Each structure stands twice: as structure tokens, then as C-alpha cells.
Amino acid sequence: MIYALVVMSSPASGQAALSAARFAQGVLARGHSIRRVFFLDAGTANGSAAATFPQDEVDRLQPWVELAEQHRVELILCITSALRYGMLDDTEAGRHGKAAATIHPAFTISGLGQLVDAAACADRLVTFGG
């Protein structure tokens, strides 16, 4: 089965984003595939390269990075939401006159077309947060 995920919660606003990452790991462990993970609204904060978590908390960035690096899962930040939350790749940072990118390299910024494509190609679209 092919899944697509939508994450709409920031890593700091409860468990939805972490649950999404764990769900993705479980899906892959059972032999299914993930077409794409699309981060929308506050969910774009999951891609922050500067995210640092207290020692007594779970690192909420690392599970996403592992999905991208080990399983080649696409992690897409909605461009409109990303800009609102200050999430920039090198291209957007340059275009908007900012000094540096703010997203982790495992993430890509793109448009809603990526979500539409993921939903069209997947057997299941699962949303976390809201």
C-alpha cells in the first residue's frame, strides 16, 4: 500500500508531528511505501534546521531526517506556509534577501501541487494535527 502524509502541527504543539513520524516508520517497517510527507501551516516548523530540544525531550527533527536519508521519503514544506513561518531554503533566502537558509537539508520547499500529486498517487492520505 502507498501512503501520503500531511503534517499540520509544529513539533512544539503536542504529539501529532511525532505521531506522524512514528506512523511513517511503522508503515515502512511493514513493507508499505510513502509517496511523500507534506508539511502545511505550523507543520512546516518540523523542518527547522535550528530546532533544538531539551535533553529530557525526544528530538523531533531526527525521525524525519532518518526517514529522508534511510528510506528516501520526500519531505515537502508548503511554500506559502514555510514563508509565513520563516522556513527558507537557499533559493528562497536569496530571493527574499535573507542571510541564510533556515530549513534542514532533508526538507524541500514546494507548492500544493506536490500534495495533490501525493494524494492522487497514494492509496491512503493520512493527516496529523490541524
Q: Which residues are catalytic?
A: 78
- Cα gap 90→107, rounded to integer Å: 12
Element (H, E) at 76: strand 75-78
Measured from the Cβ of residue 123, the count of other Cβ atoms closer than 10 Å reads 11
Angle value at C-alpha 70, between 124 and 5, nearest 5 degrees: 20
Structure-derived torsion over alpha carbons of residues 81, 79, 125, 129, reported in degrees to the nearest 10: -20
